[in-house]
């Protein structure tokens, strides 16, 4: 990564425009009308990629310095696929209040905030507070980017198999940031909440389970999902299930997958080791997806976040709404809707059509 000027600096005249005295006129204009910041500075096309290094990829809590390469990579993807400039911001604190205060203090420098690799449950409070308190879009990609692409993939997989989302029995393995967001997104997209079972490391989520903190994200999901009150672990949940979505990193036994319904769908998204090896998943499922680039149907956040921020910035949006997320999922699904195959339910991350389509959908939903 590097920073490059968009104007020449080869003469005294160039310097007088780009810096003193010319820059003073721009400062005075913005002081008189702060809204001009978007037009006259980089704010209108730049986001901060913010992390505390507490949940980096599959590496865990490796801290802000070790997280920097991932944030730099994210910034490169923003530029390559969405034409959005991005700056990595790695914070040397994992205190919720400090993170919120620092990001709020930095916010005037940016047109949006992409939260990245912040552990649950802290990430929920940080995003919720910043979204409410800042006049610019705030988006935790580990939650919503994953959820948007999963919904797009499930729409197409169901269409390919002639199934209706509302009739599917869905099991989500993992109740962290991604699992909770995926569950909420699927329900918003048409999956029947009562037919969804979410599993964490202690078993299935259901309303009577005693170990949830009151008001927690898990308690909220348990109240609306798993209408049959299936208890025990993922093995019980998968009996007769149509869909398995793995966002946990834990391994799932072949015997549990074998108990799923015929023509099932398995999205085993843990990286680098899927919850169910693709060769095993393919024995039982009609459609298999992973988070890896070396297998078909890669569920990759890069299909979502560049276009979402491109659209939000171009629209001057103050937040990224549920309607925008659903529109983004529909746009991603639509790229390959006319050429669906079991090994092509989402477009390639390198498909140049994706980000413009997502951006246009987000603008239309603003």
Please tell me what DSSP assigns to residue 163.
-
- Quick one: residue 162, left, alpha or beta (phi over 0 = left, psi -120 to 50 = alpha)? left
The pLDDT of residue 110: 98
For the domain made up of 142-366, the CATH class stated in words is alpha beta
Judged against a pLDDT cut of 80, whether residue 286 lies above it is answered with: yes
| Residues whose CB is less than 8 angstroms from the CB of residue 77 and which lie 6 or more positions away in sequence, other chains included | 302, 305, 306
> For 338-361, what is the mean pLDDT?
97
Judged against a pLDDT cut of 90, whether residue 324 lies above it is answered with: yes
Q: What is the pLDDT of residues 158-204, one digit of tens each?
A: 999 999 999 999 999 999 999 999 999 999 999 999 999 999 999 99
Distance CA 267, CA 355 (A): 23
The pLDDT of residue 215: 87
In 3D space, the residue among 140, 138, 141, 147 whose CA is nearest the CA of residue 112 turns out to be 138
In 3D space, the residue among 1, 2, 104 whose CA is nearest the CA of residue 50 turns out to be 104
Are the CB atoms for 114 and 47 separated by under 8 Å? yes
Distance CA 168, CA 158 (A): 9
CA 347 to chain centre: 16
Superfamily designation of domain 41-136: Malic enzyme, N-terminal domain (3.40.50.10380)
Quick count: other Cβ atoms within 10 Å of Cβ 123?
Answer: 26
pTM (predicted TM-score):
0.95
Distance CA 131, CA 126 (A): 8
Q: Which residues are catalytic?
A: 19, 74
Percent of all residues in the chain with a pLDDT value above 90, rounded to a whole number: 93
| Residue the block writes with tokens 């988006």 | 139
Per CATH, 41-136 and 142-366 having the same topology is answered yes
CA triple 232-236-237, angle to 5 deg: 100
* 222 φ/ψ angles, rounded to the nearest 5 degrees: -60, -30
Q: Residue 59's pLDDT band (boundaries 50, 70, 90)?
A: confident
The pLDDT of residue 271: 86
Distance CA 360, CA 54 (A): 33
The pLDDT of residue 322: 97
Average pLDDT, the chain: 96
Q: What is the pLDDT of residues 76-116, one digit of tens each?
A: 999 999 999 999 999 999 999 999 999 999 999 999 999 99
| Domain boundary assignment for the chain | 41-136, 142-366
Q: Residue 212's pLDDT band (boundaries 50, 70, 90)?
A: confident
DSSP one-letter string for 93-129: ---HHHHHHHHHHHGGG-SEEEE-S--TTHHHHHHHH
Least confident of 111-115, 269-273, 308-312: 269-273
The pLDDT of residue 260: 98
The pLDDT of residue 284: 97
């Amino acid at each position: 990564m590097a920073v490059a000027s968009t104007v020449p600096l080869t003469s005294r005249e160039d310097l007088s425009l780009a810096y003193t005295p010319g820059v003073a006129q721009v400062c005075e204009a913005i002081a008189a009308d702060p809204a001009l910041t978007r037009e006259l500075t980089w704010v209108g096309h730049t986001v901060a990629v913010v992390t505390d290094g507490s949940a980096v990829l599959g590496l865990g809590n490796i801290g802000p310095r070790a997280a920097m390469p991932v944030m730099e990579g994210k910034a490169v993807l923003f530029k390559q696929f969405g034409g959005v400039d991005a700056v990595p911001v790695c914070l040397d604190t994992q205190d919720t209040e400090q993170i919120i205060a620092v990001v709020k203090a930095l916010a005037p420098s940016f047109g949006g905030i992409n939260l990245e690799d912040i552990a649950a449950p802290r990430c929920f409070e940080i995003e919720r507070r910043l979204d409410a308190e800042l006049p610019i879009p705030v988006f935790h990609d580990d939650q919503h980017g994953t959820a948007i692409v999963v919904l797009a993939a499930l729409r197409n997989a169901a269409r390919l198999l002639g199934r209706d989302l509302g009739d599917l029995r869905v099991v989500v393995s993992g109740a962290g940031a991604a699992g909770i967001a995926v569950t909420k997104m699927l329900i918003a997209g048409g999956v029947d909440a009562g037919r969804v079972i979410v599993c964490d490391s202690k078993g299935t989520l259901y309303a009577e389970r005693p170990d949830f903190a009151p008001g927690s994200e898990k308690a909220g999901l348990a109240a609306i999902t798993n209408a049959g009150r299936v208890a025990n672990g993922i093995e019980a949940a998968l009996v007769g299930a149509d869909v398995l979505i793995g966002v946990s990193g834990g391994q799932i036994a072949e015997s549990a997958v074998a108990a799923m319904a015929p023509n099932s769908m398995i999205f085993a998204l843990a990286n680098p080791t899927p919850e169910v090896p693709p060769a095993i998943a393919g024995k039982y499922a009609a459609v298999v997806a992973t988070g890896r680039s070396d297998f078909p149907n890669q569920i990759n956040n890069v299909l979502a976040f560049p276009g979402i921020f491109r659209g939000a910035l171009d629209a001057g949006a103050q937040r990224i709404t549920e309607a925008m997320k659903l529109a983004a999922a529909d746009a991603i699904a639509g790229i390959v809707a006319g050429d669906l195959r079991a090994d092509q339910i989402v477009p390639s991350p390198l498909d140049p059509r994706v980000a413009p389509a997502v951006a246009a959908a987000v603008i239309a939903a603003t």
